[in-house]
Amino acid sequence: MKRLARILSAVSLLTLALVSCEKREPIDTMFSGFMTSHTDSQGYITSLVTDMGERYKVEYDKVRLMPDTIYRVVATLAIGADSTATIRQIVAPDSYKAPWENNVPAAMRVQDPVELISYYIGGGFLNIKVGIKVQDADSRHSVSYARQYSNSGKLRFTIFHNAYNEAEMITKYLYMSIPLSQYGLHENDKVFLRCKGYEEDYDLELTYR
């Protein structure tokens, strides 16, 4: 009788487990990264395209921007089974045509260190995430970028950072998405990126895709 009770108990637990599995809601796939957003006539984001070419319809968006406009964004998405996306987090990277280095004001042409967290070329942009050491969350450092051609004709971007002599207490993360469409680049052309680092300086070569 005890053995039969144990068998019935095991069967009951298995049944409960199967029922639980059947009732479990599908888990959304999470995705984070740089992408291009499109707004509708009211300024709400209606679609997002990743740098790998995946397009998602936005199910609900509470952020209101300029209507009928294309934006670069860094977002975290919950992607449903029907390829609709819910925006969990979204920030706007600095994304503007890089000025010539000589045209950048001297106060902004300072090269205090940054940490390059990630960088890649995709979607027609040079996408960069940097960390800067600041005194607190409200610190107002100046971070920008500019372009220049070397004597050999190589396209080079430089990241500038003015910390205004502030104490280095915590790390703040910033994003840049530099448009590359106006430079006449072809597949496998080289693009260079440089900036001062905390431990060593960066002088990187990237391939245009």
Nearest Cα residue to 116 out of 103, 130, 126, 102: 130
Burial degree of 185 (CB within 10 A; 0-12, 13-18, 19+): middle
pTM for this prediction: 0.83
What's the pLDDT at 196? 98
pLDDT of residue 16: 38
Paired tokens of 9: 């108990």
pLDDT in tens, 146-193: 999 987 889 999 999 999 999 999 999 999 999 999 999 999 999 999
Per-residue pLDDT in tens (0 to 9) along the chain, 209 residues: 444 334 334 434 334 344 444 445 555 789 999 999 999 999 999 999 999 999 999 987 788 899 999 999 999 999 988 889 999 999 999 999 999 999 999 989 999 999 999 999 999 999 999 999 999 988 989 999 999 998 788 999 999 999 999 999 999 999 999 999 999 999 999 999 999 999 999 999 999 98
SS3 letters for the chain?
CHHHHHHHHHHHHHHHHHHHHHHCCCCCEEEEEEEEEEECCCCEEEEEEECCCCEEEEEECCCECCCCCEEEEEEEEEECCCCEEEEEEEECCECCCCCEHHHCCHHHCCECCEEEEEEEEECCEEEEEEEEEECCCCCCCEEEEEEEECCCCCEEEEEEEECCCCCCCEEEEEEEEEECHHHCCCCCCEEEEEECECCCCEEEEEECC
| CB-CB neighbours of 86 under 10 Å | 15
| Residue 70 near residue 36, CB atoms below 8 Å | yes
Average pLDDT score over the chain: 87
